[in-house]
Structure 1
Amino acid sequence: MIKILRYTEYLYVAVALFSIYRIYTDWNMDRQNAYLFVFFAIVSIAMFFFRRNYRKKFERRNRDNQK
């Protein structure tokens, strides 16, 4: 279960990188679409840190319960 949580963290990083790429390519041609990808990039980065914090808390709780 912990490994799945670790992989989903990096899925958010991949979405953020793709969004940043789309922002870079669409900025001059379709500004409205670029703003949508700015939103996706910000949310993806925030979700990465949220999920990482949640996973570490979960690991600490499991480690403390096993002692």
Structure 2
Amino acid sequence: MNYLKFTQYVYLVFGAYFIYDGFTKLNNPNLGTPWLSFIIAGVAVFMFFFRRKFAKKFEDRNKKL
């Protein structure tokens, strides 16, 4: 279960990629609409913080046992 501590950072990588993708689409209108990329990036960043909070709760619960 130690790998779960590191998988939360994958969400940050995806978030950074989709922010980059959104800005490239924003600068070049022929590539499509950038808003979907920004929405996916927002969800990825939200999931990072959600997973981090959940992992901390899980770890604290195991320390009490």
Normalised to the residue count of structure 1, the TM-score between the two structures is 0.85
Q: Give, in angstroms, the shift of residue 37 of structure 1.
A: 0.5
Q: Give, in angstroms, the shift of residue 48 of structure 1.
A: 0.3
Q: CA RMSD in A?
A: 1.1
Q: Which runs of 5+ in 1 are unaligned?
A: none
Quick check: 3-12 or 16-25, which moved more? 3-12
Q: Give, in angstroms, the shift of residue 23 of structure 1.
A: 1.0
* Residue 30 of structure 2 is aligned to residue 8 of structure 1: no
Q: Which runs of 5+ in 2 are unaligned?
A: none
Question: Matches of 1:44 and 1:6 in 2, distance apart?
Answer: 16
Q: Which runs of 4+ in 1 moved over 2 A?
A: none
Count of matched residue positions in the alignment of Structure 1 and Structure 2: 63
Normalised to the residue count of structure 2, the TM-score between the two structures is 0.88
